[in-house]
């Protein structure tokens, strides 16, 4: 499985960006959620979660 199979993208919620993953059908027996959202703890879309250096 590659990351491209699961990652839907980066989306803003208010002023903070979140990364959204779809849970593949093969894992839904163990994970009841259809998608997982993770805060990137940033307000900048340019390179969320990374240092500018």
Evaluate whether 6 touches 25 at the Cβ level (below 8 Å). no
**Residue 30: predicted pLDDT:** 93
* List of E strands, 1-53: 7-13, 16-22, 35-39
The domains of the chain are located at 3-39
pTM value > 0.75: no
Which has more pLDDT, 12 or 53? Answer: 12
**Residue 40: predicted pLDDT:** 85
């Amino acid at each position: 499985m590659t990351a491209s199979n699961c990652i839907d993208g980066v989306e803003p919620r208010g002023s903070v960006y979140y990364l959204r993953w779809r849970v593949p059908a093969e894992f839904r027996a163990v994970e009841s959620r259809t998608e997982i959202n993770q805060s990137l703890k940033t307000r900048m879309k340019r390179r969320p979660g990374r240092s500018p250096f």
